[in-house]
Amino acid sequence: MKSVPKRKLYMGIEFELFFNGTQNSFRQFIKKNLSKWDIPFRGKNSFDVKRDGSLETNKDGFEGIEFVTPVMPFGVGKQFMKSVLNLMRKSEKIHTNDTCGLHINLSYQQEHLNMEIDPHRIYFALDEESLLKDWNRIHNHYSQPRTKEIITWIKRNKRKSHWDLRTGLNRRLLSECEHSDAISFEKIEDVDNGWNDECEPYMEFRIMGGVNYEHKQDKIAKTLKEYEKAMQWASSPYYDRFCSRKINKILLSNQKKQRILYKEPYDPMLENIHDLY
């Protein structure tokens, strides 16, 4: 069977950090040390620097900063991230602690696909709790997991069909989302309910961060691959079969006899889903 074509992605990055200086001096610091990127701080597609009051440090003279990039192609975003992280590692003017996050915003280059994101597919594509544990952020106030909530909801609604479970999960994930969620659906547009009318919808992933996150290049690269996989799942019905298997695993987790409770009806369109795109 042929695989589903990869979706091309856009990427935005939010670096949370402490800088020994003001917001203004940080802008000058970035422009000087990342001059090859020709970074604009005004106008369309500009970068942004703002004070972040949620960041706390005991180091005198250091201010909590959020450095936000404009949207850029996924590959370009990864290269820019490497440049910033390299600068952060080398500079004594910058440090990070457990209140700092590295947030990644992702959307599709084909804009219509952003309207077709199914939140439940993203949750089933990512092992949210394992990633948070790997980053030592499972108890961080600004990256809260919803895995237990989802598992409990599925078990309480075990008599529903997989279709009803998946659509019910989508409604729950959208209607009860919080800005502090590790996987944030705040910016996903729900046309029926008027969600996110002010801008193009995108996903925000808030799993990465913590003490010296700028030194964890390999872990960042690994987590970015997981985010990319989740976005490949998010808009394609091809992956519904895998979601059904994960639902079955949850439903069977407390049973002694391993048996399939529900079986999705065969859909020949799924066998040739690559022809639809």
DSSP H or E segment with residue 147: helix 147-156
- Please list, in sequence order, all residues whose beta carbon lies within 8 angstroms of the beta carbon of residue 258, skipping any fewer than 6 positions away: 252
pLDDT at 160: 92
Burial class (CB in 10 A: 0-12, 13-18, 19+), 103: buried
- Specify the DSSP element, H or E, that contains 71: none
CA distance 148 to 140: 16
Largest Cα separation within the chain, whole Å, is: 64
**Residue 177 confidence (pLDDT):** 84
Closest CA to 208 of 120, 125, 98: 98
Query: How many whole angstroms separate alpha carbon 64 and alpha carbon 51?
Result: 6
Angle between helices 217-234 and 74-90 (to 10 degrees): 160
Beta-ladder partners of 17: 65
Asked if residue 99 lies in contact with residue 137, where contact means CB atoms within 8 angstroms, the answer is: no
Contacts by 74-80, CB closer than 8 A, 24 or more apart: 74/8, 74/9, 74/10, 74/11, 74/106, 74/228, 76/11, 77/10, 77/11, 77/12, 77/13, 78/11, 78/224, 80/13, 80/37
Give the number of other CB atoms < 10 A from CB of residue 272: 11
Print pLDDT tens along the chain (277 aa): 445 678 899 999 999 999 999 999 999 999 999 999 988 888 878 899 999 989 999 999 999 999 999 999 999 999 999 999 999 999 999 999 999 999 999 999 998 888 888 999 999 999 999 999 999 999 998 899 999 999 999 999 999 998 999 999 999 998 888 888 999 998 875 444 444 444 578 999 999 999 999 999 999 999 999 999 999 999 888 899 899 999 999 998 766 444 444 444 444 434 443 333 3
pLDDT at position 3 is 58
Contact status, residue 55 vs residue 100, Cβ threshold 8 Å: yes
Q: Give me the pLDDT at residue 270, please.
A: 41
Distances from the Cα of 97 to the Cα of 19, 161, 277, angstroms: 12, 45, 44
What pLDDT, on a 0 to 100 scale, did the predictor assign at position 221?
A: 97
End-to-end CA distance of the chain: 15
How would DSSP label each residue in 204-221? EE---B-TTGGG-HHHHH
